[in-house]
Chain A
Amino acid sequence: KAGVTQTPRYLIKTRGQQVTLSCSPISGHRSVSWYQQTPGQGLQFLFEYFSETQRNKGNFPGRFSGRQFSNSRSEMNVSTLELGDSALYLCASSPGQGFSSGNTIYFGEGSWLTVV
Chain B
Amino acid sequence: AQTVTQSQPEMSVQEAETVTLSCTYDTSESDYYLFWYKQPPSRQMILVIRQEAYKQQNATENRFSVNFQKAAKSFSLKISDSQLGDAAMYFCAYREVNNAGNMLTFGGGTRLMVKP
Closest B residue to A48 using CB positions: B101
Query: Which residues between 4 and 33 of chain B lie within 8 Å of chain A, taking CB atoms?
Result: 33
The answer to whether B102 touches A108 (Cβ under 8 A) is no
The reply to whether B43 and A105 form a contact with Cβ atoms under 8 Å apart is no
CB distance from A9 to the nearest CB of B (A): 10
Instruction: Point out the residues of chain B lying under 8 angstroms from A45, CB to CB.
Output: 103-105
- Could you say which residues of chain B place their CB within 8 Å of the CB of A97? 100
Q: Is B91 an interface residue (CB 8 A)?
A: yes
- A97-116 near B? 1/0 per residue, CB < 8 Å: 11101011101111000000
One of A16-24, A60-68, A75-83, A86-94 contacting the partner? A86-94
Interchain CB contact under 8 A, B42 and A109: yes
A105 in contact with B101 (CB, 8 Å): no
Shortest Cβ gap from A110 to chain B (Å): 5
- On whether the beta carbons of B106 and A50 are closer than 8 Å, the reply is no
Contact A109 B44 (CB under 8 A): yes
Tell me if B44 and A33 are in contact (CB < 8 A): no
Knowing A42-B108, A99-B95, say if A92 contacts B102 (CB, 8 Å). yes
Which label, helix, strand, loop or mixed, suits the secondary structure of the A interface? strand
The answer to whether the Cβ of B84 comes within 8 Å of any Cβ in the partner chain is: no
The answer to whether residues A43 and B101 also contact, given A92-B45, A104-B47, A107-B45 and a CB cut-off of 8 A, is no
In the bound complex, residues from chain B placing their C-beta under 8 Å from that of A99 are 33, 95, 97, 102
Assembly CA distance A77 to B44 (angstroms): 21
Report the separation of the CA atoms of residues A28 and B20 in the bound assembly, to the nearest whole angstrom. 36
B99 at the binding interface (Cβ < 8 Å) = yes
Q: Which of B43, B47, B95 has the most CB of A within 10 A?
A: B43
What residues on B are CB-neighbors of A107 within 8 Å? 37, 44-46
Q: Which residue of A lies closest to B6 (CB)?
A: A42
Residues of B whose CB lies within 8 Å of any CB of A are 33, 37, 42-47, 50, 52, 91, 95, 97, 99-109
Query: Mind listing 19 A-B residue pairs with CB under 8 Å?
Result: A31-B101, A43-B91, A43-B104, A45-B103, A45-B104, A48-B102, A55-B100, A56-B99, A56-B103, A58-B103, A90-B43, A90-B45, A92-B45, A99-B102, A101-B50, A105-B47, A105-B104, A109-B42, A109-B44
